[in-house]
Structure 1
């Protein structure tokens, strides 16, 4: 599949990356001081500016802007998915944090 025909990156809006900004300098300007993005809404577990989020938070737009060097779009999507999965495992709430509803904070 060519880059032009490739579907956009499938973000499931879990919020793991939004809660892990301290792991990469690219996201430090967005850090509200506790490693969490200043646009992350703790109550909903979602990005408050998702439709207008910063370039570094938009996977395909960041790729198109040349922020990623040396990878094909497919490779970049695979690497980003792997990073997402690792962040999700790292930031997974305990059963006590999920509460009685079983809803994972940040999941939609």
Structure 2
């Protein structure tokens, strides 16, 4: 199944709040920020990032039966917006 790319604007909000989910807490460097997020707000291990950070893979493995891809994108974008508040 080929999915259109997730519309990430690379703001770093999700990577700056890894402490908020049990699934990403192991990535916390101690202040809620992912230990792989660099000063340029980029993932220093992007090509080898953990499966939990691969949104298309997470969709296919865990959410494809519950949501369409467009619905899944919409839900994730709502979370993105809420992290900015």
TM-score of the pair, normalised by structure 1: 0.69
Q: Does 1:72 align with 2:68?
A: yes
Partner secondary structure for residue 32 of structure 1: coil
Partner secondary structure for residue 82 of structure 2: helix
- For residues 5-57 of structure 1, what are the alpha-carbon distances to aligned partners after superposition, in whole Å with 9 as ceiling and x for unaligned? 6412121211010111121111111111111101111x212111122211111
Q: Does 1:46 align with 2:42?
A: yes
| Residue correspondence of structure 1 range 1-108 to structure 2 within 5 A | 4=1, 6-41=3-38, 43-66=39-62, 68=63, 70-87=66-83, 89-90=84-85
What is the distance in 2 between the residues matched to 1:17 and 1:70? 22
TM-score of the pair, normalised by structure 2: 0.85
Q: With a CA cutoff of 8 Å and minimum separation of 6, indicate the structure with the bigger relative contact order.
A: 1
The answer to whether the 8 A contact 2:17-2:33 is kept is yes
Note the aligned Cα RMSD (angstroms).
1.6
Which 5+ residue runs of structure 1 have no aligned equivalent?
91-108
**Structure of higher CA gyration radius:** 1
